[in-house]
Structure 1
Amino acid sequence: MKAFIQDFIAKKGIWVGSSLLISRLSAFLLTIFVARILTKEDFGVVTFGLNFLTIFLAFSGFGASQGVLRFGSVIKDEKSKTILFRYAFSYGLIYNCVLTGIMFSAALLLYWNEISKIELIALFSIRFLGIYLVEQKKAEYRAQHDNQSFAKLDIFLSVAALILGVVMTHFSGMKGFIASLCLAPFFLFFYDFKLNFSLKKHQFKDFTTKEFWRFSWTTALTTQIGELVFILDIFFIGLLMGDHDVANYKVSSMIPMNILVLGFIFMQTEYPKLCQHHKDRKYQYHFIFNYWKLFAILSIVILGIGFFFENEILSIFGSQYKNTEIYRILLGGAVASLLFRVLFVYMLASIGKPIWNLVISVFMLLLTSVSLYVIIPQYGLIGVSYVTLGCLSLSGILPMFAYFYESKKL
């Protein structure tokens, strides 16, 4: 495990870890500030809008950033990498505009009699474009194995979003908060970004453009459905309960869901290297073994601190948020996800088998939807918490079985 950690540090993993922690901390602090400034109803409205956007967010650009990271990591020639970056960005931008139209059409269809929700989603389409630009740039840095530049960009944007959000919410309330969410991604242009737009098609040595887009949209669709599974709780609470309940559940889930950043730090740092060793079963098994050793220890610490200081942790959001039972259930689900889902979703993608993630995500989407629809009317938020716990656990165990099945063929 010592060599595992040293290798992580050598790959600038500390930079990646710092950026992800600062990103989550910035979002966390902004949520605390906004939860204290806005009413529960206003906070619930914005949360609903953000969760609607999240349904489409993972599929922005039809997954162009996913393809850049996967195939760009394998390409050794810098000129070929640059060509790939330009190609993926240009076509991804067009696809992103198409997806924006689909998102707005879905909003019109679902909320045709609620003008305020349609207007909110229309505003968030600006954020949708900004996040596409940011994710493309991040993927380019990571494909170049430049974790330090990736981290610096992420830190800059996270801090900028926090400052902008606090200032605009303080002076303009909910409208200011919405405006800050839309404008924050475009601070990218103050950092390092040039629009290299070109629709010229290219042929690549190690893969075809058909393979690139097949992997991109499959991985993106998997991520999208996976994200949808994790926001279905908020969606169904908003549909079957009320904005007050949305706010309560959102606050209770903030700490548990942010714990997953610890796993993402390692997986995002190691993923390009895992892609390079996608046919080396010994290398991949060794990585899994060391990951489990490290995160088993961290999970025990997380559960101990999380349960012992539960009242103090929830009190930082304000005295109106004190449902420790929901928090405890979700904390257990987060640890299960940290040990299995975070690890094996990345592992399957690294060996070029994202189709398993897609199939499992579709299954979990259907299972979660039916479960929430049946359970919420009778058991309320506690029932939602147990459904989430079960889904977090199962969505990690199934990819684990799929990975070990596929890895035997390496």
Structure 2
Amino acid sequence: MDSIKTYIKNFLSRKGGWVFSSMIIGKLFIFFSSWIALKLLPQDDLGYLLFALNIILFFVPISGLGATHGLLRFGSFQETSDSRQNLLREVLIKGFIFSTILMGSIIVMSRFLTIKMPGSQFYLLGLSFLILTLFFLEAIKTYYRIIGKNEIYAKIEITNALILLPAVFITCYFFGIWGYLSTLVLTPMLATLVYFPKNIIQTSTSGNKLLGIDFWKYSVFTGLSNSVTQLLAIADIFLIGYLLKDPAQVTFYKYLSLIPLSLVLLPNAFLMTDFVSLTTHIKNSRYISQYIKQYISLLIIILLGIWTIHFIFIEDILKFLGRDFLPYKKVYLFLLFGVTAVILLRILFGNLLSAFGKARINFWIASFSVVINLLLNLYFIPTQGILGAAITSCLTMWISSLLSMFCVYYFLKKSGK
């Protein structure tokens, strides 16, 4: 119990309370925004848009050639504010160029990417601009993390959420599905403009010396790893759309996964707050081992509470989404069990591998898991529908989580010698 208290104390000292609060507000507002869209928009149109959105979310981690990931790790080692500002400036310039190329590539490939659901093509064209707006938002958020201002990072998250919720209601009510799409694209840019660090414009151009081969190798592999990990989350949506060709089933599965996936906000808050500290202490095996012990002890207690609530209120949770969701109780519970592995193991050990600089390991674990996911989905979805997709997600979440854990303990043992 003392170790848990120490963990929470250290978390709060790094403004973790701000990060956690912002993520709760952000997830709640995103959830309610999605719920508003579900109630106000035609189900088939929403299904087509969600299919296109999942395609974009797959590419988002490699926007800017993954430069925001490099900014986080390499920025953590910079000793002066000028060097961090120069690094951010070069990330923004080069990231904008690479993001524009990626956006153009998606536009060119849009017909191919939506060949099985052609009703999604025009939505994909509009949503492609998210590549740019989300890149700038993530770069500015990352900058405030590496300079130790987690409270400003949190304020950006809150601002984004505060803009999103009323905007979704207004635009969906008056402009329908295209109003919803416009809100999704423009909201990140508005939040970015509010907190854009003005002094970055005046910094020198010497920061490009910081973006060497090691920076780009780490950035690209981390971006690819996150994209492949994102594919694990959205492969089900792709294959449900391709195999069942039913946008209504896409909508059901997407909304059933909202609450389970939202639960990862707590471990994400911990690791987002602590990543810079973990990176600077990554060669101290005793420090890392103690952190793992404290984290897992706390998360076991939290997960017991989550499962208790679900066993008691599962039907009420599904009714909140709508009575049409009640027949999908097993789908929801399989997704929740898979997310349990992500909360307890995957987020922690995946971030530790990144802190070790082992982005390639994360990439190969994610790639292996995707192969398993695709093979199992191709078998289960035609016979079990979206329940098969949930079973597959559950299995692959546990496989990737356990592999990450084994790799971290291998490197810890190796570094401890």
With structure 1 as the length reference, what TM-score do the two structures score?
0.95
Work out which of the residue numbers 8, 11, 15 in structure 2 matches 1:12.
15
2:293 aligns to what? 289
> CA offsets, 1:310-329, max 9 Å, x none?
11111112222212111111
> CA offsets, 1:294-324, max 9 Å, x none?
0000111111101210111111122222121
| Distance change >3 Å, CA 385–CA 203, structure 1 → 2 | closer
| Distance change >3 Å, CA 50–CA 203, structure 1 → 2 | closer
| Distance change >3 Å, CA 198–CA 119, structure 1 → 2 | farther
CA distance, structure 1, for counterparts of residue 131 and residue 339 of structure 2:
27
Deviation of 1:116 after TM superposition, in Å, equals: 4.3
Work out which of the residue numbers 411, 414, 417 in structure 2 matches 1:406.
411
Structure 2: which 5+ runs fail to align?
none
Instruction: Name the amino acid aligned to 1:236.
Output: L
Residue 313 in structure 1 maps to residue 317 in structure 2: yes
State the aligned residue count: 408
Work out which of the residue numbers 371, 390, 399 in structure 2 matches 1:394.
399
1:232 aligns to what? 235
Instruction: Name the amino acid aligned to 1:319.
Output: R
> CA offsets, 1:97-139, max 9 Å, x none?
1111222233233336976432211111222211111001001
SS of alignment partner, residue 133 of structure 2: helix
Residue 279 in structure 1 maps to residue 283 in structure 2: yes
Residue 329 in structure 1 maps to residue 334 in structure 2: yes
Identity %: 29
> CA offsets, 1:183-226, max 9 Å, x none?
1112135412257499956465xx76111111111111100111
| Distance change >3 Å, CA 329–CA 115, structure 1 → 2 | closer
Residue 262 in structure 1 maps to residue 266 in structure 2: yes
| Distance change >3 Å, CA 373–CA 114, structure 1 → 2 | closer
SS of alignment partner, residue 167 of structure 2: helix
Work out which of the residue numbers 169, 173, 195 in structure 2 matches 1:170.
173
Instruction: Name the amino acid aligned to 1:303.
Output: W
CA distance, structure 2, for counterparts of residue 253 and residue 83 of structure 1:
40
Q: CA RMSD in A?
A: 1.8
> CA offsets, 1:237-275, max 9 Å, x none?
011111111111112111111111111010111101001
User: Between Structure 1 and Structure 2, which shows a larger proportion of helix residues?
Assistant: 2
1:161 aligns to what? 164
SS of alignment partner, residue 406 of structure 2: helix
Instruction: Name the amino acid aligned to 2:97.
Output: I
Instruction: Name the amino acid aligned to 1:397.
Output: L
Q: Where do residues 343-362 of structure 1 align in structure 2 (5 Å cutoff)? A: 343-362=348-367
CA distance, structure 1, for counterparts of residue 237 and residue 118 of structure 2:
20
Structure 1: which 5+ runs fail to align?
none
Does the 8 A contact of 1:90 with 1:199 survive in 2?
no
Q: Where do residues 5-404 of structure 1 align in structure 2 (5 Å cutoff)? A: 5-111=8-114, 116-188=119-191, 190-193=193-196, 194=198, 196=201, 200=205, 202=207, 209-241=212-244, 242-322=246-326, 323-404=328-409
With structure 2 as the length reference, what TM-score do the two structures score?
0.94
Does the 8 A contact of 2:116 with 2:241 survive in 1?
no
Does the 8 A contact of 1:58 with 1:223 survive in 2?
yes
| Distance change >3 Å, CA 197–CA 175, structure 1 → 2 | farther
